[in-house]
Amino acid sequence: MVTEYDVFAELMEKKTKIAQLAENLNQNYANIYARIESLRNEKLIIKEEKYYSINIHNKKTVLLVKIIDYCNSHNMNCNFFLSKKMSAILEVCLNKETLSIDDFGQFNKTTLKKYLDRLIQYNFIIIKTRKPFTFSILKEHFFTDIVCFFGGEVKLKERLPEDDIFEKIEKELKKYKQKSKKQSKFYIKNIEEELKFDFIHSTTYLEGNTLTLEETIKFLKHNIQPKKDFDDLLEVKNMNVAIDYLFENLEKPLTLDWILNLHRIVMQGLHEYNGKLRNGQVRILGNPDFKVCDYRILKPVLEEFIVNFNKKFKKCKTQKDSLILSGWVHNEFQCIHPFFDGNSRTTRILMNYCLLNFGFPLINIYEVSKDEYLSLTKLSRKRDDRKFIAFLSRIILDNLIKLNELL
């Protein structure tokens, strides 16, 4: 059934007459007219002669455009998110750090389950425990826009590591290791391949790659090339080789050559300085407050990073230590920013180099966590390892819980 939001999405493309909208959406004139009148009553669209177009002077119109654009870019049906029930659920989720079913007493349980299951499917919900079921939701501007569109209010709070999250991670990691031993090598290999494809898709998506997960899998597994930009295809192909390099060299100590070889693979054919330290200054687009290392002292600073990493690595005694080290590796390397391009992709592999050496599986920072992830890294005004480690810990816990359900 065509909704008013489907009609609005058509009008986002260009101003159109009702008859043309009806043809485009394969609907009769009366149905489209009714949706048009609903949008006009909300002042989301305007009429100029016989043509209808979106009302860019209405703040709600701007929010709606952002919501629909986000859904389109993630291959999601906007109608699922554009409802008062979803808005009310999101408002509860965004205004509390740890949630349980008891926090949604005003909602029908069947309806609530339908919405939460879909949010879990999209990786928007970070599961903390299964029994009892507790969770948090990603801090995405997308959700805030939905709540505001329907007149709700969000008061975002600072997120710091929870007292027991490291214990929960250790418990799930132990379960992962035990379950892995009970499965056949063939099954484990398939699971690891799925993790690899998920990681490749998400880590390249975070840098603007346009391939979907399905396209990524078909391209890497069956050599079926989607009609996408050549550089997007090469990014994905390079990342596939880079993950192989990671696992093949996992037991080797971290050195400057190790990092340069990794970057050479990540950026092969994408930048002339692949595998080479930059010889000029760079800036982070959209964030003048993010300071990176001066190129003239890059090599000694990077060598110092490697020495410090190896010292910290040897001192790690607990899983908590390894998680804190992984967060430090991520933020320290990003702040050094040793290359002209490909720094963040290299950073996330180095973070996994650390985690994998402590027995973790390949950890994926979900594509839908992009807003929160960037707000804590490249787009943050000030480096804060505690906040990033809090975010990373929730992501790792969710990765482990979902992985254990497959084993």
User: Where residue 52 sits, what CATH number does that domain have?
Assistant: 1.10.10.10
Determine the Cα–Cα distance for residues 293 and 402; give it in Å rounded to an integer: 38
Domain boundary among 123, 149, 175: 149
Q: Are residues 387 and 338 in the same domain?
A: yes
Q: Are residues 269 and 387 in the same domain?
A: yes
The pLDDT-based confidence of 170 (bands split at 50, 70, 90) is very high
**Residue 376 scores a pLDDT above 80:** yes
Would you say residue 11 lies in a domain? yes
Q: Are residues 170 and 35 in the same domain?
A: no
Q: Are residues 41 and 136 in the same domain?
A: no
Close Cβ partners of 217 (under 8 Å, ≥ 6 residues apart) = 197
Would you say residue 70 lies in a domain? no
| Average of per-residue pLDDT values in the chain | 93
Would you say residue 45 lies in a domain? yes
**pLDDT per residue as tens digits for the range 25-45:** 999 999 999 999 999 999 999
How many independent structural domains does the chain possess?
3
Give the per-residue pLDDT at 171.
94
Full domain range(s) for residue 251? 165-406
User: What pairs with residue 125 in β-bridges?
Assistant: 137
Would you say residue 371 lies in a domain? yes
Q: Are 64 and 5 in contact (CB under 8 A)?
A: yes
**pLDDT per residue as tens digits for the range 299-357:** 999 999 999 999 999 999 999 999 999 999 999 999 999 999 999 999 999 999 999 99
Domain boundary among 149, 175, 194: 149
Using DSSP bridges, classify how beta strands 99-100 and 51-54 pair: parallel, antiparallel or unpaired.
Answer: unpaired
Would you say residue 62 lies in a domain? no
The pLDDT-based confidence of 101 (bands split at 50, 70, 90) is very high
Q: Are residues 213 and 353 in the same domain?
A: yes
Q: Are residues 307 and 355 in the same domain?
A: yes
Close Cβ partners of 163 (under 8 Å, ≥ 6 residues apart) = none
Q: Are 384 and 278 in contact (CB under 8 A)?
A: no
User: Where residue 250 sits, what CATH number does that domain have?
Assistant: 1.10.3290.10
Supply φ then ψ for residue 128, to 5 degrees.
Answer: -105, -45
Determine the Cα–Cα distance for residues 370 and 141; give it in Å rounded to an integer: 10
Give the per-residue pLDDT at 389.
94
* pLDDT > 90: percent of the chain: 84
Q: Are residues 138 and 270 in the same domain?
A: no
Would you say residue 241 lies in a domain? yes
**pLDDT per residue as tens digits for the range 266-311:** 999 999 999 999 999 998 888 888 889 999 999 999 999 999 999 9
Would you say residue 75 lies in a domain? no
Domain boundary among 118, 149, 180: 149
Q: Are residues 46 and 180 in the same domain?
A: no
Q: Are residues 202 and 235 in the same domain?
A: yes
Would you say residue 63 lies in a domain? no
Give the per-residue pLDDT at 343.
95
Close Cβ partners of 11 (under 8 Å, ≥ 6 residues apart) = 21, 45, 52, 53, 54
**Residue 9 scores a pLDDT above 90:** yes
**pLDDT per residue as tens digits for the range 238-257:** 999 999 999 999 999 999 99
Q: From residue 131, how far is each of 101, 123, 397, 401 by CA, in Å?
A: 11, 19, 14, 11
Give the per-residue pLDDT at 160.
63
Q: Are residues 296 and 397 in the same domain?
A: yes
Determine the Cα–Cα distance for residues 29 and 283; give it in Å rounded to an integer: 52
Q: Are residues 252 and 137 in the same domain?
A: no
Q: Are residues 305 and 350 in the same domain?
A: yes
